[in-house]
Amino acid sequence: MTATPAWELKMSNTIGGDRRSDKRYSLRLDVRWKLIRRRKVLESGQGTTIDLSSGGILLEADRPLPNGLNLELAIAWPVMLRNTAPLQLVAAGRITRVNGNRVAIRMVQHDFRTGTIQADRRQPPGAPANKIVPFFSGRTPRIV
């Protein structure tokens, strides 16, 4: 019987299993997306996240998307800011993998923003109005 070389053991231990460095969280959240090329919006649509981590997002889009292009996402976050304003996670990244309508992006930028306030969550009459930033407002993240 011959012994297995050390380099073979190391190689088989590192190749198997999930090699991602970031922990992934299974979250089903509504998402709106914009396909970006040279700072222009080519298409937009909606979908649902499947899982996300600090480095990437896997989502189910409403249609197949091309691999390699940039994508900007606005994800409806499940937590409210001060129990009054809904939050969105706005993320930008490059599409790294496509399988049917499932799209994986490598995130290069992300930010939390506030959205519109629902009628039942608004300030009492006479109180100053809240300034709320809608989805995709402000500057568009640049992807290098």
Q: Which domain CATH number covers 88?
A: 2.40.10.220
Domain ranges, residue 111 = 22-116
Contacts of 59 (CB under 8 A, 6+ apart): 31, 33, 47, 48, 49, 50, 73, 102, 103, 105
pLDDT score of 11:
47
Whether this model's pTM surpasses 0.85: no
pLDDT tens, position by position, 89-106: 999 999 999 999 999 999
**pLDDT grade for 109, boundaries at 50, 70 and 90:** very high
pLDDT tens, position by position, 15-48: 554 555 678 889 999 999 999 998 899 999 999 9
Q: Is residue 38 part of a domain?
A: yes
Q: Is residue 17 part of a domain?
A: no
Strand partners of residue 51: 26, 58
